[in-house]
Copies of this chain bind each other. A is one copy, B any other.
Amino acid sequence: MDILIRIKRVLEAALSRSDQPDGPPLLAEAVRHAVFPGGARVRPRLCLSVALACGADARAAAIAEVAGAAIELLHCASLVHDDLPCFDNAPTRRGLPSVHRAFGEPLAVLAGDALIVLAFETLALGIKRPALLAPLTALVARAAGSPHGLVAGQAWECESQVVLETYQRAKTASLFACATQAGAIAAGADPAQWRALGDCLGEAYQVADDINDSVGDAAMLGKPCGQDLALGRPSAVLRHGLDGAHDHLDRLVAASVASIPDCPGASLLTALIRRELRRLLLPAVAASQAA
């Protein structure tokens, strides 16, 4: 079965638990709006792809799907909260109204909260090997929380002194490194060997995002552009210039591919990562062709 369909199925199962006739209906709608139709599902695809590259059997792949879904739910939660008026005040996300624009600020705060809880509930109910639940939950929590995870990354925006690498590693790379390591754990491989790939890919995604934010097109991205400059946020383009950011991205792509450990599906995974990273810059390419 196609990887994207497998991931969608696990996310649907998670949301159906939250969406019950005797629960508050607007919250369930807001949670669904935050998760579907969704973006490229990069993190769960990465998690499952790493597990399969490590030779995961059906049972191990199912664990990687669950871990990937939990990671995606945390990613969706962070988008909902990052879009809030007190942060980016973004009117749109993935081409649709942001959650707080569609449902109001209270339900946007609560939808993010519900998604964080749902991520951990998904792990607890879906990881059918008890010995793997503690390491996977601890890994996901570390990548999501404070002091080095997603929430900490967002919190660096509230500090006057920020090191760009520290900020981006927490805000973006943390969930990518979590995805590769979770895939390895699910398949019984050594997660430490897979961390570098996640770190590199996460940084590459952040740099590509900065390039798209700087030269891309809001309609194509489905969210506002020029936000880094407008909000005074650290950005690879602001720091290195546009050409410098492109050079940095090329180096990160090479480092990502070079970091893939020896495993049964290494060449397939390499091809997939190269294709994915080309796709990433499509908004910037389209904008440069239109200019």
Contact = CB atoms under 8 A, between A and B. Distances in A.
Residue from A104, A106, A116 with most neighbouring chain B CB atoms (10 Å): A116
Given A110-B154, A133-B133, A134-B133, A24 B121 contact: no
Contact of A24 (B77, B106, B131, B155): B155
Contact of A116 (B113, B156, B157): B113
Interface residues of A, number: 57
Q: Is the interface of A mostly helix, strand, loop or mixed?
A: helix
A137 B114 CA distance: 15
Contact of A138 (B22, B24, B125, B144): B125
A120 interface: yes
Nearest to A153: B24
Interface stretch (A81-89, A263-271, A278-286): A81-89
A58 to B, nearest CB: 20
Contacts of A114: 145-146, 151-152, 155
A149 B17 CA distance: 12
A28 to B, nearest CB: 7
Contacts of A134: 124-125, 127, 130, 133
Contacts of A155: 24, 26-27, 106-107, 110, 114
Interface of A: 18-20, 22-28, 31, 77, 81, 84, 86-87, 104-107, 109-110, 112-114, 116-118, 120-121, 123-125, 127, 130-131, 133-134, 137-138, 141-142, 144-149, 151-152, 154-159, 166
